[in-house]
């Protein structure tokens, strides 16, 4: 039976992945800093996963989780899902927010990848799936820290993939567009986050889970954007960054309208 570690398991994408992996009879190590919330949800839904408290910023805590996972057998898959986002414009950002974004989103992924990959190299196989964001492909005004931290996740993942490939270890980076999770709900309260909602379709955790547990897990691609068309649009935007200035007013206008709609739906 395969062993999989999933971080960010208390909510959103991580929670959904744990539930579906359990159904596939996978030994799941579900990890999150909010152990209480994870435990309460797990009890209500009869989880069989092993629950671990994990602050992804702390290397020592990662070492403990890796030890727990290895007690069940070789680690087949690591899914780095845990993340953090707080909208804000550059001139209003606090030092604490700078640290929190990079400590959780970037350093958390790096700590997990380096420690789990060491175990995988030793056993000669494994697959690491790092969740970045569409913001890792094209920067999002109003989410400068989030965009930068996810750009770093993508760059690290692509480099790590080439380093680990000769050892039988695969690395995939997944870049979803906006997903209907607590992280998205939080953004309804911030005008700075309006561009997030300019997408024509807000993804569900089920849609993201289908891609991760389907194509990503089985084909082990280097990089996947969800939906695929957003990857094309993002790369074009990167080639012509000045074009964003022309399109940004339209994106903000559409985004604010949809942001209000989504907030109203959440209240009803």
As given in the structure block, the two tokens for residue 125 are 């196989």
Q: How far apart are CA 195 and CA 213, in angstroms?
A: 28
As given in the structure block, the two tokens for residue 90 are 């550059």
Q: Give yes or no: 72 in active site.
A: no
Of 84, 146, 190, 262, catalytic: 146
CB 133 within 8 A of CB 181: no
Residues contacting residue 120 through CB under 8 Å, at least 6 positions apart: 75, 126, 128, 164, 167, 168, 169
| 126-131: strand order across its sheet | 50-53, 27-32, 3-7, 75-80, 126-131, 169-176, 223-226
Q: Hey, which residues are catalytic here?
A: 146
């Amino acid at each position: 039976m395969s062993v999989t570690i999933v971080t960010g398991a208390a909510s959103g994408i991580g929670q959904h992945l744990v539930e579906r992996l359990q159904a596939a009879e996978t030994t799941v190590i579900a990890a999150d800093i909010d152990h209480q919330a994870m435990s309460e949800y797990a009890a209500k839904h009869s989880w069989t996963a092993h629950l671990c408290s994990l602050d992804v910023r702390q290397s020592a805590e990662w070492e403990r989780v890796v030890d727990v996972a290895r007690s069940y057998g070789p680690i087949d898959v690591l899914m780095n899902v845990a993340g953090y986002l707080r909208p804000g414009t550059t001139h209003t950002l606090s030092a604490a927010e700078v640290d929190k974004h990079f400590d959780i989103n970037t350093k958390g992924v790096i700590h997990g990848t380096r420690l789990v990959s060491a175990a995988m190299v030793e056993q000669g196989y494994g697959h690491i799936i790092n969740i970045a964001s569409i913001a890792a492909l094209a920067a999002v005004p109003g989410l400068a820290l989030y965009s930068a931290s996810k750009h770093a996740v993508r760059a690290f993942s692509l480099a790590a993939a080439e380093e680990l490939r000769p050892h039988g270890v695969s690395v995939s980076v997944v870049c979803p567009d906006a997903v209907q999770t607590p992280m998205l709900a939080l953004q309804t309260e911030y005008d700075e986050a309006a561009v997030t909602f300019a997408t024509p379709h807000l993804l569900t955790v089920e849609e993201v889970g289908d891609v991760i547990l389907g194509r990503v897990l089985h084909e082990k691609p280097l990089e996947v954007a969800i939906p695929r068309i957003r990857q094309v649009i993002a790369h074009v935007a990167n080639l012509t960054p000045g074009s964003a200035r022309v399109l940004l007013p339209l994106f903000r206008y559409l985004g604010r309208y949809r942001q209000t709609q989504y907030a109203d739906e959440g209240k009803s």
